[in-house]
Structure 1
Amino acid sequence: MNLSKALETAAVESGEKAAYYFIGQTATYEELNESVNQFAAGLREIGIGQGDHLALIAGNSPHFIISLYGAMRAGVTVIPINPVYSSEEVSYIVENSHAKAVVLPDVLAPMAERLCRTLPAVEHYIVFETMEEKVEGSQAWQPAFYQKVKTFSDLLQTARLPFDPPPIQEEQTAVILYTSGTTGKPKGAMLTHKNLYSNARDIGTYLQFSKEDSVITVLPMFHVFCLSVCLNASIIKGATMIISPKFSPKEVFALSKEYKATVFAGVPTMYNFLLQSPEGRPEDLASLRLCISGGASMPVALLENFEKKFSVRISEGYGLSEASPVTAFNPLDRPRKPGSIGRSIINVQNKVVNAEGAELPPGEVGELIVKGPNVMKGYYKQPEETASVLKDGWLYTGDLARMDEEGYFYIVDRKKDLIIVGGYNVYPREVEEVLYSHPDIVEAAVLGVPDAEYGEAVLAFVVSKNDRLSSREVRAYCESRLAQYKQPKEIELLEELPKNATGKILRRALREQVLPNRS
């Protein structure tokens, strides 16, 4: 079984059921499956087939789903790319992944024209219309680019059906996800059909997804969290996706109420915005049976305040691109533990090890490693990088964690973010938890900076809803709640913290953008 087959099954078993809602549009599972067949057949018509690579530069939309599943059905490997990336970032990924075709919206045509001049290996640009512009207004395109353009609608309409899909091997690469590099260029994690199908199936089962569910799909589809949890798991279980192009608290409240949503998935920053929004009322989210959080650790104070206001449970989990992504989640059939990422999901093993790879007993902090059918087969054309994280079948995550006596895991911090003050370990998350517990603080991030006396010192960045809150007051708040070596030596008050496309706070961006500007 693979994701393409799962969609075919849903089309047979639930053909008339809505697969998605999107800005007033809707499509049944039968209609979605037909569009996927047309896209796969269209790729065949232009010479894109099994083993080829296709870059997918699209936001949350039916175009993303049809392109992804159509390519996979044709045996084509998909490379999802963030549509807000710069030309240089897109160019690197398209070239590095050896993409033969690119799917993108018409508003990105100027960027695609630049790619066309520098990347001759790309043979086709499949352009779809957005609500802002029309593909027909393309007379100004350069001839070399125009000759390589095929509109999305033409690709579907001229495809010759029926489409006879090639045999798909479970170890064949389905998707290459480029992870944001902490140093150097991003790496492409190769996820197989088995990786993606098994993780979506298992997380859907673990979180009790069913045909009765309606899932608010506002996380970016190009990101693995949304890809597996909102998109793939929904299709496998026959649920309905309520697709929003971008996140806004007002939109989430409106969609939840209009479509009687049952599941919402987001990152902690989204929950923070929903909680702080003056428009949010408990009845707006009354239909939800479950909220899912991932992508970053959720501060316990935020979790408890959100649950108290909206009377809905948040189940926090953990994952990473290299694991398709989910490895652990708080179970629904037993007590949830605030601050924990939960227990290992079905068919996946998590354990905490020391520097030598030996498993540590409950309570001790070490590196989290994972194993299962969801673990990638490696980084694309980077054998050394692959060998550094895949050892004896285990994926070394680079995250520091501990496990309790009941098998619940707790992320302590990123291994690379550990701060050492005078020989003592300081985990940024521990300091951030204290900051988030302050009633006036809505966002916080902590990192280590060089210190002549202690080697490193703790620097905190804080966003407050109270304009009168001072650094001195924040420091005093920390003094009674943290050991002296853990207390921030400096506190900077900012209007906002830098975030990535999913809303995850970027410590690296703080280091690169804010620190050099400090006097």
Structure 2
Amino acid sequence: MPAADGGPFPRAVLDALDAGADRPVFEHGDRVVTGAELLDLVAQVAAGLRGHGLGPGDGVALLLGVTPEAFAVIIAAHVVGTRVVGVRPGLPDAQVRHLLDLDIAAAVTDSGTRYAPPTLTVEALCETRADPGPLRLGARPEDVARLIHTSGSTGTPKACAQTYAAMAAAWTARPGAWPPAIRELASRLGRYLVFGTLSSQVMFEYAVLTIAAGGTVVVADRPALPEAITRHRATASVITVPRLAKLVAAQRRAPADLSTLRALLVSGSPLTPDRHSEALEVLGPVVFHGYGQTETGTISLATPADPPGSVGLPPGVVDVEVRDEHGSPVPAGADGELFVRTPAQARSYWADPAGSAEVFADGWVRTRDLGRVDAAGRLHLTGRTRDVVIVNANLHHVGPIERVLAEHPDVAEAYVIAVPDEDTGEAPHAFVVPIGDRAPDLAALRELVTGRLGAACAPVRVTVIAEPPVAPSGKPDKRLLG
């Protein structure tokens, strides 16, 4: 798609920083950074990256936390046209090594840890003084701008390849292109609370939206809610469904002062109508319920005025088709699998032609989610076709978990299903067929899975079964478990 009125990426982001030259755009503890100061950081880092020979098409891995410098490094890496790979904190070593092996020319870190590719520190990059004058953009539209990795529960994270053309076509940094729901949200992003890592697609893109809307990105080193909202006088934050439920319960027990709060961005998993209604009742008209995927970016966003349980009205630039099992569109109101086209969608999975062919076809992205579009055009999610578990808003395929469990010497077969969990939304529940009479030890199984796939994939419960239930075809039928 063309860059519309935003120019090549990240020109619109640089313009937003320039427009906020004299106001705070980042706040980190006692430190306040203006748009002009952040632009200067971007220029310094861009000059440093170029000074190390990095440019269009080179892969750069970013192992960074949440700081103004981290944001500046991300934007600077795009200024010089590199392929950015964000690495989330807490990934198992094997997955970090995999990400650093994706044709990476250099790694940038703020921790001082050294990695196999040439490692550059944020401090060293920021010491470079950029020449005065406008920043020179080096990106080529069809180059891959970033690889946004999925959960990694397949053993090696899938990397969604998004081009510079797609990033330029996104509406995030361009107020003139904001759909109505995004415009409503943007008006509430005076002080947007961020935490964790800017490698998170959601955290980063709402940070860009905040700056473009004239707000301030506020770093929460201690992100527990509601304390962080009160302490930082936040107007907005991202929240998962389990954390929302806990916040609602806490407000019922002992209400905290949330008078500054204007927007909670529920992300990661569907919000039931009952829980949605309760949140609106207890917290007020502040709940925005977003739906999107790593492969697509934002698909739709429900505002507090939308009916509870929906994920809102997809904007005109987003196409949504609900299809039956044969791939044919179904009538309005009927359930089916969702296929979408968005301005900023990825074009493929990096170095994975088979996986790409399954998901990316004829310009559409197969979401593998089930849903329907009501008579008013609002989108409702009803299930998913994938065999997955969503833990703390991150999607994990259960196949790799089953394979790791089956490697244990006491396990003959393993089957994993998703079960509701008050703390994480969903959690893995394993059903295992033992070898002999000895029941496998839960702690040992959890340790095995954690070491290979990460703690989120470790089963919270293990049930020993003599054999799995079977479907009429004779194949195991996990729908009968639980």
TM value normalised by structure 1 = 0.70
Equivalent in 85, 93, 99 of residue 104 of structure 2:
99
Q: Secondary structure at the match of 2:211?
A: helix
Structure 1 partner of 2:182: 207
The aligned amino acid for 2:374 is D
Aligned 8 A contact 1:189 1:376 in 2: yes
Q: Deviations over 1:20-76 (max 9, x none)?
A: 111221100111011001000001111111211111112222232011001001111
Structure 2 partner of 1:359: 329
Aligned 8 A contact 1:204 1:233 in 2: no
Q: Report the number of matched residues.
A: 404
Aligned 8 A contact 1:214 1:242 in 2: yes
Q: Deviations over 1:362-397 (max 9, x none)?
A: 222211111121211111122221121111111001
Structure 1 partner of 2:48: 42
Q: Secondary structure at the match of 2:334?
A: coil
Structure 1 position 458, deviation (Å): 8.7
TM value normalised by structure 2 = 0.75
Aligned 8 A contact 2:145 2:163 in 1: yes
Structure 1 partner of 2:86: 80
Structure 2 partner of 1:416: 386
Counterparts of 1:167 and 1:213, CA distance in 2: 32
The aligned amino acid for 1:293 is V
Aligned 8 A contact 1:274 1:280 in 2: no
Structure 1 partner of 2:272: 299
1:432-511 matches, within 5 Å, as 460-461=419-420, 463=422, 509=457
Q: Structure 1 residues 174, 19: CA separation in 2 closer, same or farther (over 3 Å shift)?
A: same
Q: Structure 1 residues 167, 393: CA separation in 2 closer, same or farther (over 3 Å shift)?
A: same
Structure 1 partner of 2:359: 389
Equivalent in 156, 173, 191 of residue 144 of structure 2:
173
Counterparts of 1:234 and 1:274, CA distance in 2: 23
Q: Which stretches in structure 2 are left out of the alignment for 5+ residues?
A: 1-6, 391-397, 403-414, 424-445, 447-453, 467-482
The aligned amino acid for 1:338 is P
Q: Deviations over 1:458-490 (max 9, x none)?
A: 9855549xxxxxxxxxxxxxxxxxxxxxxxxxx
Counterparts of 1:457 and 1:41, CA distance in 2: 49
Equivalent in 120, 133, 138 of residue 126 of structure 1:
120
Structure 2 partner of 1:425: none
Aligned 8 A contact 2:242 2:422 in 1: no
Counterparts of 2:356 and 2:64, CA distance in 1: 28
Counterparts of 2:272 and 2:197, CA distance in 1: 22
Is the aligned partner of 1:240 residue 2:216?
yes
Structure 2 partner of 1:57: 63
Structure 1 position 87, deviation (Å): 1.8
Is the aligned partner of 1:329 residue 2:301?
yes
Structure 2 partner of 1:193: 164
Counterparts of 2:39 and 2:307, CA distance in 1: 40
Aligned 8 A contact 1:366 1:400 in 2: yes
Task: Name which structure has the greater RCO, CA cutoff 8 Å, separation 6+.
Answer: 2
Counterparts of 1:186 and 1:327, CA distance in 2: 22
Aligned 8 A contact 1:103 1:125 in 2: yes
Equivalent in 217, 221, 225 of residue 202 of structure 2:
225
Aligned 8 A contact 1:291 1:312 in 2: no
Is the aligned partner of 1:66 residue 2:72?
yes
Q: Structure 1 residues 262, 299: CA separation in 2 closer, same or farther (over 3 Å shift)?
A: same
Counterparts of 1:184 and 1:51, CA distance in 2: 26
Structure 2 partner of 1:423: none
Structure 1 partner of 2:410: none
Q: Secondary structure at the match of 2:462?
A: helix
Structure 2 partner of 1:514: 461
1:247-266 matches, within 5 Å, as 247-255=223-231, 258-259=232-233, 261-266=234-239
Q: Structure 1 residues 203, 61: CA separation in 2 closer, same or farther (over 3 Å shift)?
A: farther
Aligned 8 A contact 2:189 2:210 in 1: no
Q: Secondary structure at the match of 1:106?
A: coil
Structure 1 position 274, deviation (Å): 2.1
More helix by share: 1
Aligned 8 A contact 1:215 1:242 in 2: yes
Equivalent in 3, 15, 19 of residue 21 of structure 2:
15
